Structure 1
Amino acid sequence: IGQTRLTMGINEYNFDWRLAAGDSFQTPEVAMVYSTTGLNGMSQAYHDLLRDRVARSRYKREPRPILINNWEATYFDFDANKIQSISDAAAPLGIEMFVLDDGWFGHRNDDNSSLGDWFVNRNKLPEGLADISKRTHDKGMRFGLWFEPENISADSELYRAHPDWVLGVPDRSRTLSRNEYVLDFSQSDVVDNIFEQMTAVLDKVPIDYIKWDMNRNLTEVYSPHSDSAHEGETSHRFILGVYDLMERLTKRYPQILFEGCSGGGGRFDAGLMYYMPQSWPS
């Protein structure tokens, strides 16, 4: 009674960071609020703090567009005309944005392939994403697109070219989740490759919104490109790599509204809100 106990700071699980002479390490910030009106007041204070002091997007206080997403209407089975039929039905109802979900890239017809291959599936969309974007905008609607940048399928061109770009312990089995592995975002070459693939799409196609998904947790958090003395840095360097990619994309495309989906909001943190002013908490 009469005591207050606070626990804060970096998660120490599997964390070890070696500092050589003259090196520095920046710890995560602690965001704290105080409420005299209980948990509801505390929740509202955090809302205001994150919206006003953390989120920097132009969209942080704008009303969100009413959108329709093709995922549960089509799953992976769609073409340009099927997408057009959804837009045709949605536009007269006042729907303001159409979002093209999973399945537009590589040769992805189910969830067994193509994550990591962020180029258009021409068998489904022979005229490309620019055609879908134009059709959507011609309806007076905005156009959004789905990505899952941090994960990779074994059946992908990227994996076949760089099997060492996946988190995992050498000579040990790796855990598949939703038929995908996790890219080693602790390595700058990996982040650079995904950035280049994404910008190749975003530079050419008018896109208003990105749904950024992350459908699994991290397992076997070990980098094949690290040594034993620095392996404890991998998980922290991974999220720094994620932030680096988000930083570059949001600076390059300030007109895009980014949403963090991440398996139903399961990986939300305040750092993500710095880049993405909304999360999908399904």
Structure 2
Amino acid sequence: MTAVHHLTDRNAFLLRGDGFAYALAVTPDGDLRHLHWGGPLEPADVAALLADDARDFGSNTWSSPRAHAEELVAHGGRRLDETALKVEFADGVRALDLAYRSHTVSADQLTVRLADRHYPFAADLHYRVRGGALERWTTLVNDGETLVALDRAYSASWGLPWQPRWEATWLAGMYAAETQVTRRPLGPGRLVLESRRGIPGHAAQPWLALDAGAGDEAGAVWSVALAWSGSWRLAAELAYDGRLHVTTGVNDFDLRHPLAPGTSWTTPVTVGVYTSAGHDDLTDRWHAYERRFVVPRPDVVRPVLYNGWEATFFDVRPESQLELARRAAGLGAELFVVDDGWFAGRDDESAGIGDWTPDRAAFPDGLTPLADEVHALGMRFGVWVEPEAVSPDSDLFRAHPDWIYQWPTRPRTLARQTHLLALSRPDVRTHLVEALDALLSSAPIDALKWDLNRPLTEASDGVGNGSVWLAHVEGFYEVLDRVRARHPDVWIESCASGGGRADLGVMARTEWVWPSDQTDALERLSIQHGYTYAHSPHTMMAWVTDSPTYLTKREIPLRFRFHSAMTGLLGIGGNLAHWPSADLAEAAEYVAQYKQVRATVQYGVMRRLSGAPDDVTALSYRSPSGHQVAVFAFAPSVRHLRRTVQLRLRGLDPAAVYVDGATGTRYSGALLMHHGLRVGLVGDYASELVVLDRA
């Protein structure tokens, strides 16, 4: 099936992907009109779309044209709805009047150029079909001889078809409680999700789903996300007559980005996913998109990790790290990561960030001896870094105090006792690339945990060539890309005080993310539940830590802790030196069991089993081949009169037979889906893992 059709007789375009279609057309006046985003259509259907004029302008007080009928809603004229583009020309004019000029079509990509009718300014609208997803972004071009200021430059406007009612689903939260599923009816007005922190932040994911009451297995759902690792904004505006449109892009908070003569700027990619088959299929489509088009090494099974942060905190010494490594290897871990505290001056969080050389008192011969020992134990070796930050008490800051974001006449803001390096500056980016290259070349290091523990403040780099809100993220991407090019075998984990930077932009450059500093296994269930609405489990790291847990002080059994972490990428972060031998032996069994199902968990089809009682969390994973099914069930406390739950599975072959490997019990797929799988949950912090193999 051809992805992009240009219907020359109607000057219209039809983009078709897996299960969706998107259509737009050029009007006789040269405007670019939005026609359709939803289920599949044929080219012959476009004539009916053009005849069904949805641009009803309403009364004189309404926006004209209506936002849902335009491809790019630009500020100007009587456009009173939420706009995606606003500029100021050198003569003070702050309105745009864009008209179609040209287009180019390839197999899966369309670019339409809109140009201002009076000024030498253009907007190139890009579209690319990616399986069941549509990527969109915009390139803004100043072809004139004077500066143009970008005050708002979103990636796209998304027009949705009329529905009798709308419900919105998004992922809200806070530090240590990220990605909580939030679902609300959408009333007239604007729902605004955003971050102004310079990173995507903990309060919300740059992701939104909209439907008219869809369930897990049925109903149309539209979803939009943004691939941007900085401040962002997503607004869904619903008019009283049921017309809905969504805009998303970089946040225009404090933006004011100058576009010099003869230059252009390209927005980040926004991604739209549509399904007619409910929220289960929406999840499948987002997971498939990430695995196929976003994350590096998409087909490589992720390793079992050990990280020593909660075991030693800043007290990082070779002998204690080696003892932890020996015990981690004994459990079956495959990657050992030394967290914060390994570098010079790092006895606590007051100093050392920015000087990425080993503490000579602890590591007189560098990291190579420890890395060699870890490799000899059969594990890969990684270290924690926070390259974008710098401590005032560091050699780097003393040498280059001008390399941070700061206002010359205002106090500097510390966060976790660090400043933020101005990655908007080429000299800072070059320094970071060289410093990380030197670190990775100094020892056999296989992985980095890349952290950031502060927001962007004092948005000035002393150079003033553009908005640092944009330039910092672009500099961050450049540094990551250059380091990966020099060290292509190094794996990178993204972290920002937990889940502060877990977006499609950073996922394109890292193997997985750390979704939260919350390692309490019970709290993690809701975090992981929400995270996997938008992201694949093969990007989600989860640790088994000590009991009582670090943040909540809650006592949780080892079994529950492991089962919770086994629903994503299994990591271990407890102080293994203090674990009794019985716990170590039990843990090794869980690691071995995880390795039997991890390909299914990481790359299979996930289902949230919502038919369980409210106090039970249950989910299943079906392997890509369909030959293995892993079912997890959790309950914080089980009443005596309900010692088991009946879980109705979804997505199985009703004619197939599935065998419980632990008991030998055989079930038909039809029985498991229509009657259910009985899972025993007894006592407090009860959990079960049932593995079914297709006979």
Per the normalisation by structure 2, the TM-score is: 0.39
Q: Name which of 257, 277, 284 aligns with 1:44.
A: 284
Q: Name which of 236, 240, 243 aligns with 2:474.
A: 240
Residue 172 (structure 1) shift: 0.7
Q: Name which of 453, 456, 463 aligns with 1:218.
A: 456
Q: Name which of 419, 423, 426 aligns with 1:185.
A: 423
Structure 2 letter corresponding to 1:253: H
Residue 42 (structure 1) shift: 2.2
Q: Mark the runs of 5 or more structure 1 residues left unpaired by the alignment.
A: none
Q: Name which of 494, 517, 522 aligns with 1:260.
A: 494
Aligned twin of 2:261: 21
What is the distance in 1 between the residues matched to 2:457 and 2:409? Answer: 15
| Identity, % of aligned positions | 39
Aligned twin of 2:294: 54
Question: What does the per-residue CA deviation read over 1:221-280, in whole Å, with 9 as the maximum and x for residues that have no partner?
Answer: 221222xxx45x111001110000001011111111111011112122211111113111
Aligned twin of 2:377: 139
Aligned twin of 2:11: none
Q: Which has the higher contact order (CA 8 A, sep 6+)?
A: 1
Q: Secondary structure at the match of 2:320?
A: helix
Q: Secondary structure at the match of 2:289?
A: helix
Structure 2 letter corresponding to 1:135: E
Aligned twin of 2:320: 82
What is the distance in 1 between the residues matched to 2:328 and 2:260? Answer: 58
Aligned twin of 2:445: 207
1:86-101 to structure 2, matched below 5 A, reads 86-101=324-339
Q: Secondary structure at the match of 2:515?
A: coil
Structure 2 letter corresponding to 1:4: L
1:118-157 to structure 2, matched below 5 A, reads 118-157=356-395
CA contact (8 A) 2:423 2:476 kept: yes
Residue 179 (structure 1) shift: 0.9
Q: Name which of 514, 517, 525 aligns with 1:280.
A: 514
Q: Name which of 270, 274, 278 aligns with 2:504.
A: 270
Residue 70 (structure 1) shift: 1.1
CA contact (8 A) 2:333 2:379 kept: yes
What is the distance in 2 between the residues matched to 1:267 and 1:95? Answer: 26
What is the distance in 1 between the residues matched to 2:495 and 2:280? Answer: 25
Q: Secondary structure at the match of 1:206?
A: coil
Residue 158 (structure 1) shift: 0.5
Q: 1:31 to 1:209 in 2, by over 3 A?
A: same
Q: Secondary structure at the match of 1:68?
A: strand
Question: What does the per-residue CA deviation read over 1:146-199, in whole Å, with 9 as the maximum and x for residues that have no partner?
Answer: 110000000000101111111111121122111111101100101111111111
Aligned twin of 2:565: none
Q: Secondary structure at the match of 1:32?
A: strand
Residue 140 (structure 1) shift: 0.9
Higher strand share: 2
Give the stretch that moved more between structures: 13-22 or 156-165. 13-22
CA contact (8 A) 1:97 1:141 kept: yes
What is the distance in 2 between the residues matched to 1:31 and 1:181? Answer: 33
Q: 1:222 to 1:38 in 2, by over 3 A?
A: farther
CA contact (8 A) 1:250 1:256 kept: yes
Q: Name which of 426, 429, 436 aligns with 1:198.
A: 436
What is the distance in 1 between the residues matched to 2:314 and 2:414? Answer: 20
Residue 22 (structure 1) shift: 1.4
Give the stretch that moved more between structures: 270-279 or 239-248. 270-279
Q: Secondary structure at the match of 2:258?
A: coil
Structure 2 letter corresponding to 1:63: V
Residue 62 (structure 1) shift: 1.8
What is the distance in 2 between the residues matched to 1:63 and 1:31? Answer: 26
Q: Mark the runs of 5 or more structure 2 residues left unpaired by the alignment.
A: 1-163, 165-241, 517-695
What is the distance in 1 between the residues matched to 2:377 and 2:283? Answer: 39
CA-atom RMSD, angstroms? Answer: 1.4
After TM superposition, the runs of 4+ consecutive aligned structure 1 residues lying more than 6 A away are none
What is the distance in 2 between the residues matched to 1:16 and 1:40? Answer: 40
CA contact (8 A) 1:51 1:277 kept: no
Question: What does the per-residue CA deviation read over 1:196-235, in whole Å, with 9 as the maximum and x for residues that have no partner?
Answer: 1111111131122111101111122221222xxx45x111
Q: Secondary structure at the match of 1:119?
A: coil
Structure 1 letter corresponding to 2:257: W
Q: Secondary structure at the match of 1:25?
A: strand
Higher helix share: 1
Aligned twin of 2:182: none
Aligned residues: 276
CA contact (8 A) 1:107 1:113 kept: yes
Which protein has the larger Cα radius of gyration, Structure 1 or Structure 2?
2
Aligned twin of 1:250: 484
What is the distance in 1 between the residues matched to 2:279 and 2:252? Answer: 27
Structure 1 letter corresponding to 2:244: T
CA contact (8 A) 2:304 2:335 kept: yes
Aligned twin of 2:341: 103
